[in-house]
Amino acid sequence: MLVALFKLLSLLPLPILHGIGTGLGWLVYLSSPTYRQRLRENMRLAGVETLIYSAVPEAGKSILELAFIWCAPQEKVLKKAKIQNWDLVQSALDMGDGVIFLTPHLGCFEIIAQAIATRINLTVLYRPPHKKALQPLIETARARANLLLAPANLGGVRTLLKALKKGNSIGLLPDQVPQNGEGVWANFFGKPAYTMTLSAKLHSMTGARIICAYAERLPWGKGYLINFVPFTDDLKGTPEHQANSINCAMENLIAFCPAQYAWSYNRYKTPDHVASYEATTTATPTTSTPPQPVTTIVPIKKLTPDPDPE
């Protein structure tokens, strides 16, 4: 049923889907106190609560556009994607050690993997949905030529490592809350958040280059501008230091288009069987990550597309 609905919606033009998404965003915001409170609180932590009236419709667009991104013909989808700074990626690929793409829940992150896979082989880590009814839609829709899905388990991690050792590329969502034993507490906009350590581990094991990426949603359904940004930290030190460095890089990406971040995501939850940050600091005060001042986003001037984007 859900697959059929998404395929039907994918026939609509992207501007129409974004228009419907705008209405959906406001409907959910006004009808769900829990959703509304979390979105506002997360935006307040980042200092962007003044963008609330822009963030609400963007959240709705992010849901409806999935029908287009997942179910429309790939050539139709990719016509909506303009790639910026591919030379940065190519330089990293030429080193031969593989590339780790880090993408937060910002803009239309789903289109990034498809765009990359038209040029190179890419393996992306994904977490199977809790609802079995969603699994055929997500797995079928995401699987494309040159795009391999690796489940978020030990076997999937081995698949990622194998790809990097071959000099290929992988993609991760570093702001996704990991499971027990797969993360550490690190600051995200000044508040401790359980943060995955996988990207730093894979980097240290393979020497793969890290590149950050995001896809800004253009207004009026005009498409998406995919940008690649270098990761400049050396990721030395403790896992907590590494996680803080990656979170800082994600904060910097979010500053490019802060209204398009998934502020309603429960980023600060404590996963099952994970000691809370407070319990961790009480037990091991010498190794925990100390609280830091709240980071305030200063929106960054938008990058302009290349004259002839690829």
Closest by CA to 52, choosing from 26, 90, 23, is 26
Q: Which stretches does DSSP call E strand in 108-256?
A: 122-126, 147-151, 169-172, 183-188, 191-196, 209-217, 224-230
Least confident of 107-121, 127-141, 190-204, 225-239: 127-141
Output the CA torsion 185→232→296→65 (10° steps). Answer: -90
Closest by CA to 263, choosing from 302, 289, 297, is 297
- The H or E element containing residue 101 is strand 99-102
Asked if 177 contacts 283 with a C-beta cutoff of 8 angstroms, the reply is no
Domain ranges of the chain: 81-283
Closest by CA to 101, choosing from 193, 15, 214, is 214
Mind listing the pLDDT tens digit for each residue in 44-69? 999 999 999 999 999 999 999 999 99
Mind listing the pLDDT tens digit for each residue in 293-308? 444 455 554 544 444 4
Helices 198-206/239-254 angle, 10° precision: 110
**With bands split at pLDDT 50, 70 and 90, how would you rate the model's confidence at 111?**
very high
For residue 234, what pLDDT is reported? Answer: 84
Mean pLDDT of 164-170: 95
- Give Cα separations from 61 to 23, 67, 290 (angstroms): 9, 11, 36
pLDDT at 309 over 50: no
Asked if 73 contacts 14 with a C-beta cutoff of 8 angstroms, the reply is no
Mean pLDDT of 164-173: 95
Mean pLDDT of 263-267: 96
Residue 134 neighbours by CB distance under 10 Å: 13
Q: What is the pTM of this model?
A: 0.88
Mind listing the pLDDT tens digit for each residue in 66-80? 999 998 998 999 999
**With bands split at pLDDT 50, 70 and 90, how would you rate the model's confidence at 189?**
very high
For residue 283, what pLDDT is reported? Answer: 60
DSSP three-state, residue 237 = coil
What Rg do the C-alpha atoms of the chain give, in angstroms? 19
